[in-house]
Amino acid sequence: MSDRDTSRVPPEPQAEEQGESSEDPKVYPVYVYERTCQDIFGYCLREAQRRPPHEALGVILGFRRQWQGTKYVRVTDWATGRVESSMAYARFTPEGVLEYRLALHDRYGTNPHTPRVIGLWHSHPFGGNPQFSSTDFNTFFRTPFCAEGNVFFLIDPLSRFFKVYMLRLSSEKEVLQLERVEWCTYRPKVPFGTMPSEEIDDSREGGADRA
């Protein structure tokens, strides 16, 4: 365990979003919106408290970003759908894939500036130090998840492990490798009083739910 263990929940450093004037130049490979982290963890915990415990599974949404030449990922949201699962297994059913895609469409519509699916999270509810299985590796290194900058969370809610991994190019930039990375949670800083006004374009909606 390192001096600053970032594997457990709640994770330690409450880093601010990297802004224009950064006093701390450290750029973490992965930033997870605090609420998203708590929600995913809570979901895994509920599934782990079933008798018998069940694995939980979902997709990670976010953005690939760059700060002064250093690439990082900002995780902003998550989704899930119907899953076939047991204590040691979890897989989306075809309906489950449709469910999370529809949920995301409902949340974000077709706006191109919305977070993308950039990985998967799942739990191993054994109460230990979780490790990926060979099935996990097969999933991550296949389409659609095998891409540079994609992230994967491995959670054991019973022992409160929350590990973050990322697919990165090797130093020779030839092979993608799955690396465990440092991460932190963030809360968006809202500059109260200087918020730009937001416009919501409802013109294409039927207006059925509008008062």
Rg (CA), the chain: 18
Torsion of CA 5, 8, 14, 20, to 10 degrees: 80
| Partner residues linked to 117 by β-bridges | 61
Q: Spell out, one character per residue from 96 to 135, where the chain touches Zn ion: x when CB under 5 A holds, - when not.
A: -------------------------------------x--
47 binds Zn ion (CB under 5 A): no
Instruction: Quote the tokens at residue 152.
Output: 């994967």
CB-closest chain residue to Zn ion: 136
Which one among 47, 77, 136, 156 touches Zn ion, defined by CB under 5 A? 136
Q: How far apart are CA 195 and CA 190, in angstroms?
A: 8
The residue assigned the tokens 């739910």 is: 209
The Cα 168–Cα 148 span in angstroms is: 5
* Nearest to Zn ion of 154, 184 (CB atom): 154
Closest approach of Cβ 14 to Zn ion, in Å?
Answer: 28
Does 77 participate in binding Zn ion (rule CB under 5 A)? no
Q: How far, in whole angstroms, is CA 72 from its chain's centroid? A: 13
How many positions of this chain bind Zn ion (CB under 5 A)? 2
- Antiparallel, parallel or unpaired: β 89-92 and 83-86: antiparallel
Which among 11-19, 33-41, 136-144, 160-168 is the span making contact with Zn ion, rule CB under 5 A?
Answer: 136-144
Residue closer to Zn ion (CB basis): 138 or 203:
138
Rule CB under 5 A: is residue 156 a binding residue for Zn ion? no
> Which residues make up the interface to Zn ion (CB under 5 A)?
133, 136
